[in-house]
Amino acid sequence: MSALAQVAVPKSALQPDAGTSLRPIHVLLGIQSLVVILVSINRLSSLTQTYVAANEFLRWQDLINMLPLPLISGVASWLLLRLLEQRASIAARGRLTLSIVFMVGLYLLAASYGTHEVTNYLHVRFCPPEDLSRLCEIVAFNDDDFSHWVFFAGFVLMNVALLCMQVIAPHQRQLNRGDVLLLILNGLFIGLGVFANLAFEEIGLDLYVVALLAVLALGLLWRVGRQPLVIYYVTAYGLGLVGTLIYKGLVL
């Protein structure tokens, strides 16, 4: 028997799917889909319109939108980044940079939720359109402008970091039909959320952010092929954007 034949091979190395299973990615993307559903229920349900405390500092709707739901989504995104980072080659360039970009984006996103939910509550309750006082002008600016700018900055940084991490940590096996279907299914939940926010509301900076992510994802699909997050982002933002443009074209 040759020396090579006598070398013991770890059992994990004999398992063809060791370290390449997409199950953790599907679970984390599924959590994001669940968050989208819970956000919709929270916004539409009358149950969360009651006040959190006797001093009426916030409604349950505002508190839920500000703390548990974005926290769950942020943790799931961070775990997804860590999962991809662990699968990347040790020598892969850009891992630290992308991690820093992601953390900056996560901080900005959290700051935007804290700013928006509080000022939105105050704006809606205490500042009707006819109130032109300086105080209501400041509250409205924080609600409608500043918090949105901070949100989109954080949102873009986080998602670009995730997409780029997927590029330097590519999935090494060909995706099977079940994996592709699950990626598309989870992407559709995000796409429906994108469509609801863009199609039935006044379009602003959010349209350009969605278009940016859609174009980036499509470019990466052409460049690196059918990678899990690339398929997910193409579905979520590509279909959300196309659906919005078709709807706006039909109603205008």
CA–CA separation, 76 vs 191, rounded Å?
18
Q: What is the pLDDT of residue 172?
A: 86
- Are 61 and 42 within 8 A, CB to CB? yes
DSSP letters, 167-219, are: HHS---SPPPHHHHHHHHHHHHHHHHHHHHHHHSS--SHHHHHHHHHHHHHHH
What 3-state class would DSSP assign to 89? coil
pLDDT tens across the length of the chain (252 residues)? 333 333 333 333 333 344 568 999 999 999 999 999 999 899 888 889 999 999 999 999 999 999 999 999 999 999 999 999 888 776 577 888 999 999 999 999 999 999 999 999 999 999 998 889 999 999 999 999 999 999 999 999 999 999 999 999 999 888 999 999 999 999 999 999 999 888 777 778 899 999 999 999 999 999 999 999 999 999 999 999 999 888 877 654
What lies within 8 Å, CB to CB, of 209 at 6+ separation is: 152, 155, 156
CA–CA separation, 100 vs 146, rounded Å?
23
- Backbone φ and ψ of 170, nearest 5°: -70, 150
pTM for this one? 0.87
- Backbone φ and ψ of 59, nearest 5°: -90, 160
The amino acid at residue 233 is Y
